[in-house]
Amino acid sequence: MPSVTGSDSPTVSIVVPIYNEELVIEAMHSRLLQVLVPAGEPFEIIFVDDGSRDASPGMLDSICRSDSRFKAIHFSRNFGHQAAVTAGLHVLKGACAVVIDADLQDPPELILEMLAKWREGFEVVYAQRSARVGEGIVKRGTAFLFYRALGKLSEVNVPLDAGDFCLMDRKIVDLLNSMPERNRYLRGLRAWLGFRQTAVTYERPARFAGVTKYSSRRMFALAIDAVFALSKTPLRIATWLGFLASGASFVLALAFIAERLFGSGYIARGWASTIVVVLFLGGVQLICLGVIGEFVGRIYDEVKQRPLYVVGSSTGFSRT
């Protein structure tokens, strides 16, 4: 039997995605308790172990066995951060939910501020970074540019510099859970839903320990997912490039006719310019095909209707 028992209808459920975080679990566990216990609200904490290969799964299970406010879901393999958060949202019971990283880059103390805003009537309270500490110039620079480019491209207003760290009302969680799409860029979906949303700002500290689990390749994939989930602009750019190329060819045709009629008649000049034009058009066509391919690939993912994640085992959930 667990030595501490939790409530069946907690006020707040905390979702913590975890991938190989053995170095931070202990510190994260005690920081969360330090913040949540004095607050006096019933809470549950759901660890979603995203196929960790280190000691994390065992550490999480032993926390859950001694304290029934903690629950753990173990994926059968690594499905990615967004899938892990989605799984947490599927099972939580709270009147509101907080999504927080395990590495203490999202300070748990901010949860109290978020709860206060929620009580004021906001359905979404997201944490906005006013500065980032301990992250390299490349990460800070690309993140800065990405959020601004996405702001321009996206059809919904996605707040700048806000990650997944947020509090959401039960209503928002239910709506997110009812959205069937596979490509889950949660910050985008959250913004798309609307309702009353507000920010709390904070300075994002460095990771408590360990290294980032988001490689540059994964960051890039997430950025591409975000753009394609929130915008049809890439397709529109393809159309505009098409117009541009045909407009240019029309002007060139007129110029050649004029040259033939009124000029010296010598037009068999540029071999180099021909090659450049042919390569340019070939490039534009391939890029446009790539853009269409990105959308087709995503449509394929949606049509297959595979589950977003597979749960291998879980600890701390009642049998019902």
Q: Are 60 and 27 in contact (CB under 8 A)?
A: no
| Touching Mg ion, residues 102-141 (CB under 5 A) | 103, 105
**Residue 20 binds Mg ion (CB under 5 A):** no
Task: Assess 103 for contact with ligand UDP (CB under 6 A).
Answer: yes
- The strand order across the sheet containing 43-49 reads 197-204, 124-132, 162-169, 96-99, 12-18, 43-49, 70-75, 311-315
**202 part of the interface to ligand UDP, by CB under 6 A:** no
Q: Looking only at residues 203 through 242 of this chain, which bind ligand UDP when binding is defined by CB under 6 A?
A: 212-214
Enter the tokens of residue 281.
Answer: 């058009």
Q: How far is the CB of 162 from ligand UDP (least distance, A)?
A: 13
Among 22, 50, 123, 225, binds ligand UDP (CB under 6 A): 50
Note whether 176 binds ligand UDP by CB under 6 A.
no
For residue 101, state whether it binds ligand UDP (rule: CB under 6 A): yes
Per CB under 6 A, the segment of 86-94, 97-105, 111-119, 293-301 that binds ligand UDP is 97-105
Tell me the residue type at 40: G
Q: Two tokens at 27?
A: 């510190």
Nearer to ligand UDP, 44 or 50 (CB): 50
β-partners of residue 72 are 47, 315
Listed ranges 102-110, 150-158, 262-270, 287-295: which one lies at the site for ligand UDP (CB under 6 A): 102-110
In the list Mg ion, ligand UDP, none, the entry touching 80 (Cβ below 5 to 8 angstroms by class) is ligand UDP
Q: Does 106 bind ligand UDP (CB under 6 A)?
A: no
Binding site for ligand UDP (CB under 6 A): 17-19, 21, 50, 78, 80-81, 84, 101-103, 105, 212-214
Binding site for Mg ion (CB under 5 A): 101, 103, 105
